[in-house]
Structure 1
Amino acid sequence: MTAAWRWTYETADGAQVGNSHDFESRSDAETFIGLEFETLLGNGVDQVRLHEGDTEVYGPMSLHAE
């Protein structure tokens, strides 16, 4: 069985403010963040980190335009 993929949500200073639900694949997780980033920004999320199980795959990734 493979580990679930999940996003952690953070403020700009790195404080964790939530998590996404679990996804079956990295592709599903990345599609979700692409569709939901504006909503997350509106809810005070500045950056996200992607995890596979307990392993951080990448992050922090800013949700703000460069």
Structure 2
Amino acid sequence: MLSMPWSWRLQKGDGETVTVPGVPEETFTTQADAESWLGLNWRELRDAGVEQVTLVEDGRTVYPMSLLDPE
């Protein structure tokens, strides 16, 4: 079975894609690897102004997730 690339789209709250200096665009071979990377880096991303992320598999949106604290 051919593995599809997984990645995170980093976004502002309005869905605008953002780039975070010093954080390269990563691709992963599995969903678990992508989710582990986010687990290690979400605070840094949030501190850099990323408000939400969207997990993407080979161009297909899997799910979005907020990085903001719930109100």
- Per the normalisation by structure 1, the TM-score is 0.89
- Dislocated runs of 4+, deviation >2 Å: none
1:29 to 25, 34, 39: 34
Structure 2: runs of 5+ lacking an equivalent: none
Q: Which runs of 5+ in 1 are unaligned?
A: none
Q: Residue 9 of structure 1 corresponds to which residue in structure 2?
A: 10
1:63 aligns with 67
User: Paired residue for 2:56, among 48, 51, 58?
Assistant: 51
**Does the 8 Å contact 2:3/2:30 carry over to 1?**
no
Q: Distance in 2 between matches of 1:39 and 1:12?
A: 16
User: Taking structure 2 as the reference length, what is the TM-score of the superposition?
Assistant: 0.84
Aligned-residue RMSD, C-alpha? 1.3
- Cα distance in 2 between the residues matched to 1:16 and 1:65: 20
The alignment covers a number of residue pairs equal to 65
Deviations 1:20-51 (Å, cap 9, x if unpaired)?
A: 31011100100111110000011110000001
Identity over aligned pairs, percent: 35
